[in-house]
Structure 1
Amino acid sequence: MNSSDDVDALLYLSFGGPEGHQEVRPFLENVTRGRNVPPERLDEVAEHYHHFGGVSPLNRLNRDIMSSLEGELAERGLNLPVYFGNRNWHPMVEDTVERMAADGVRRALVFATSAWGGYSGCRQYHEDIARARDAIGQQRAPELVKLRQFYDHPLFVAANADAVTRAYAHLPEDVRTQARLVFTAHSVPLSAEERSGADGRPRWYSRQVHESARLVAEAVGVTGYDVVWQSRSGPASVPWLEPDVCDHLDQLSARSVPAVVTSPVGFVSDHLEVIWDLDNEAAEKAGELGMGFARADTAGTDPRYARMIAELVSEHVENQRVRKLSPLVTAGCTANGQLCVAQGCC
Structure 2
Amino acid sequence: MCPAEQIPSTPSAQVLFASAAAAAGPAHVEVPVAYDALLLAGFGGPEGQDDVIPFLRNVTRGRGIPDERLEEVAHHYRHFGGVSPINDHNRALKAALEDELARRDIRLPVYWGNRNWAPYLDEAVQDAASAGHTTLLAIATSAYSSFSSCRQYREDFARVLIDTGLGETVTIDKVRQFFDHPGFVAPFAAGVLEAVSAFLDDGVPADGIRVLFSTHSVPMQDAERSGPRDVDWGEEGAYAAQHRAVGEVIMADVTAERADAGSIAWDLVYQSRSGPPSQPWLEPDICDVIETLPEQGVQAVVIVPLGFVSDHMEVMWDLDTEAIEAAETAGLRAVRTPTPGVDPAYVSGLIDLVVERLDGTPASERPHRTDLGPWFDVCRPACCENVRAGFKPAASGIAP
Band the TM-score falls in, shorter-chain normalisation? over 0.9
Opposite residue 322 of structure 1, the aligned amino acid is R
Secondary structure of 1:63's partner?
Answer: helix
Distance change >3 Å, CA 300–CA 285, structure 1 → 2: same
Displacement, 1:38?
A: 6.6
Distance change >3 Å, CA 37–CA 297, structure 1 → 2: farther
Displacement, 1:169?
A: 4.9
1:327 aligns with 2:371: yes
Secondary structure of 1:175's partner?
Answer: coil
Displacement, 1:219?
A: 1.1
Opposite residue 310 of structure 1, the aligned amino acid is I
Distance in 2 between residues matched to 1:205 and 1:240, nearest whole Å: 13
Mean Cα displacement is larger for which, 315-324 or 63-72? 315-324
Deviations 1:59-100 (A, max 9, x none): 111111111111111222211100101111111101111111
Distance change >3 Å, CA 289–CA 82, structure 1 → 2: same
Opposite residue 323 of structure 1, the aligned amino acid is P
Distance change >3 Å, CA 109–CA 218, structure 1 → 2: same
2:188 matched residue in structure 1: 160
Distance in 1 between residues matched to 2:244 and 2:222, nearest whole Å: 16
1:147 matched residue in structure 2: 175
Aligned length: 340
Secondary structure of 1:261's partner?
Answer: strand
Structure 1 unaligned segments of length 5 or more: list them. Answer: none
Match of 1:205 among 217, 228, 239: 239
1:181 aligns with 2:211: yes
1:218 matched residue in structure 2: 252
2:155 matched residue in structure 1: 127
2:391 matched residue in structure 1: none
1:69 aligns with 2:97: yes
Distance in 1 between residues matched to 2:61 and 2:382, nearest whole Å: 28
1:281 aligns with 2:322: yes
Native 8 Å contact 1:154 1:323 kept in 2: yes
Secondary structure of 2:346's partner?
Answer: helix
Displacement, 1:213?
A: 1.2
Displacement, 1:276?
A: 0.5
Mean Cα displacement is larger for which, 244-253 or 136-145? 136-145
Distance in 1 between residues matched to 2:197 and 2:177, nearest whole Å: 30
Distance in 1 between residues matched to 2:251 and 2:162, nearest whole Å: 43
Distance change >3 Å, CA 134–CA 257, structure 1 → 2: same
1:7 aligns with 2:46: no
Percent identical across equivalent pairs? 44
Displacement, 1:165?
A: 1.9
Deviations 1:130-186 (A, max 9, x none): 011112114564211011011111121111100112233554813363211110000
Secondary structure of 2:132's partner?
Answer: coil
Structure 2 unaligned segments of length 5 or more: list them. Answer: 1-20, 22-30, 256-261, 386-400
Mean Cα displacement is larger for which, 166-175 or 73-82? 166-175
1:246 matched residue in structure 2: 287
Native 8 Å contact 1:10 1:109 kept in 2: yes
Match of 1:312 among 353, 367, 370: 353
Opposite residue 381 of structure 2, the aligned amino acid is A
Distance in 2 between residues matched to 1:176 and 1:44, nearest whole Å: 40
Distance change >3 Å, CA 231–CA 38, structure 1 → 2: farther
Secondary structure of 2:276's partner?
Answer: coil
Distance in 1 between residues matched to 2:80 and 2:169, nearest whole Å: 37
Match of 1:341 among 359, 380, 388: 380
Distance in 1 between residues matched to 2:134 and 2:147, nearest whole Å: 27
Distance change >3 Å, CA 22–CA 156, structure 1 → 2: same
2:25 matched residue in structure 1: none
**Aligned-CA RMSD value:** 2.0
Higher relative contact order (CA 8 A, sep 6+): 2
TM-score, normalised relative to structure 1: 0.92
Distance in 2 between residues matched to 1:246 and 1:139, nearest whole Å: 45
**TM alignment of 1:33-44, pairs within 5 A:** 33-35=61-63, 39-44=67-72
Native 8 Å contact 2:180 2:373 kept in 1: no
Task: From the two aligned structures, give the one with the greater helix fraction.
Answer: 1
Native 8 Å contact 1:180 1:261 kept in 2: yes
Displacement, 1:291?
A: 0.4
